[in-house]
């Protein structure tokens, strides 16, 4: 069950990163500084979520 939760967390982080990069591309094209700041923050959240998911996998494997 923990592995399934970790996989879902990792998939969620990947989806969030894809959305954030799409928003980043749009914000850069529109030169919207607020949307750009939001996209950068969203990327940081996605990276943190992926790191937490990877850490969870490593703890399950005792590595």
- Encode pLDDT of 10-34 as tens digits: 899 999 999 999 999 999 999 999 9
User: pLDDT confidence of 60, banded at 50, 70, 90?
Assistant: low
Tokens representing 20 are 């954030």
Residue that the structure tokens 């592995």 belong to: 3
Task: Quote the mean pLDDT of the chain.
Answer: 88
User: pLDDT confidence of 62, banded at 50, 70, 90?
Assistant: low
User: pLDDT confidence of 63, banded at 50, 70, 90?
Assistant: very low
Q: Which domain holds residue 27?
A: 2-60
User: pLDDT confidence of 36, banded at 50, 70, 90?
Assistant: very high
Total domain count, the chain: 1
């Amino acid at each position: 069950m923990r592995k399934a939760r970790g996989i879902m967390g990792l998939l969620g982080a990947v989806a969030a990163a894809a959305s954030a990069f799409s928003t980043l591309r749009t914000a850069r094209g529109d030169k919207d500084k607020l949307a750009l700041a939001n996209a950068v923050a969203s990327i940081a959240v996605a990276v943190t979520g992926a790191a937490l998911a990877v850490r969870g996998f490593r703890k399950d494997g005792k590595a």
